[in-house]
Amino acid sequence: MHKSTSLFYWIRNHILILIMFITISGYLMGQDTISNSSIIDDSTQYSYLMINSGFSYNKLEHSVNITEKIPSIFNKIDYYHKSGIYLGGSFSNYFSDSLQSFEYEILAGFQKYYDNGFDFDISYAWHDFNGNTKLEGINYTHSFDIYSGYEFKNNYLSSDFNLLIGENNVNYFLDIDISRFISFDDVLLKNSVLMINPTLSFAFGTDYWVYSDLTIENKTQLQNFLSNRGYSYNNFCFQGINIMLPISYGINNLFFTFSGIYRIPSRKFKFIGMESGFGTMISLTYFYNFKGTNK
């Protein structure tokens, strides 16, 4: 097999896995802010604790007839004070072949909701990963996030700017989302709610992470391929469109969520070897309000 063809196959077999985990986990974990404002109407009046656990077993298919299923489990706990300050931590466990991989994160932030429909969220997180590097996604230690949104007539327009600082490079990303809130009360049981949140997301970001794990020779080959086809590299660019559908069913403060996401890569990332793909995740979330306390 020609060396350049082998390079494309290597990238094809890793980029899709990498992007799917970045996008699915990033989106689902990032939905806490939106979900909180929808689920807990008095979140600005009381402090509360959120405990979240989830599982995914996504089938990733490649055009070279390689299919891989990678199960993953994540656990997350956050404490939100009524002042808007919050603290939290998460632990994710990935399974690939015989090598167990995991990552954990500790974060702190501040969020604010306004009566006119605006809200914003700023946060910092310290992150660490151990195990199979092809599941790592982007190698980073520090993350800074600025999130803002506006709700109008059950629609939600939001933007999320994320800065990831690693040992060798700095990547930054911008997601622009439009969502629709659909809810039905007392479905099957009293005091229950069914929520559907279809979302269309446009993803932009730097592409430094694409080349970070390549050898100098392979990196040069890939960038030459891009340049010869008229694509730029080592820059901020459009990376793709995500179509997402979280469906949640809640009874009191306990919620079960099924989330699906379909990723459509940009032309540049299709040329690199990334394909459209579908991923799913299920999760269970419990909210505890500190009503009647001074917390």
Residue 142 has pLDDT above 90, yes or no: yes
Residue 138 has pLDDT above 70, yes or no: yes
Distance from C-alpha of 213 to C-alpha of 18, rounded to nearest angstrom: 12
Residue 172: band (very low, low, confident or very high) from pLDDT cuts 50, 70, 90: very high
DSSP string, 132-146: -GGG--S--SEEEEE
pLDDT of residue 276: 83
Residue 199 has pLDDT above 50, yes or no: yes
Mean pLDDT calculated for residue range 137-158: 93
Interior/surface letters 251-278, b for 16+ CB within 10 angstroms, e for the rest: eeeebebebebebebbebbeebbbbebe
Residue 216: band (very low, low, confident or very high) from pLDDT cuts 50, 70, 90: confident
pLDDT of residue 270: 87
Residue 197: band (very low, low, confident or very high) from pLDDT cuts 50, 70, 90: very high
Cβ–Cβ < 8 Å for 167, 183: no
Residue 226 has pLDDT above 60, yes or no: yes
Instruction: For residue 281, give every residue at least 6 positions away whose Cβ sits within 8 Å of its Cβ, in sequence order, or none.
Output: 24, 25, 28, 54, 55, 56, 258, 259
pLDDT, greater one: 56 or 13: 56
Mean pLDDT calculated for residue range 144-166: 95
pLDDT of residue 36: 43
Average pLDDT score, the chain: 82
pLDDT of residue 37: 46
pLDDT of residue 166: 87
pLDDT of residue 23: 54
**Which range among 19-33, 41-55, 135-149 has the greatest average pLDDT?**
135-149
pLDDT, greater one: 97 or 215: 215
Cβ–Cβ < 8 Å for 86, 36: no
pLDDT, greater one: 133 or 87: 87
The rounded percent of the chain whose pLDDT value lies above 70 is 77
Architecture field, domain 3-289: Beta Barrel (2.40)
Name the pTM for this structure: 0.80
pLDDT of residue 248: 95
**Which range among 38-42, 71-75, 123-127 has the greatest average pLDDT?**
123-127
pLDDT, greater one: 180 or 280: 180
Mean pLDDT calculated for residue range 252-281: 88
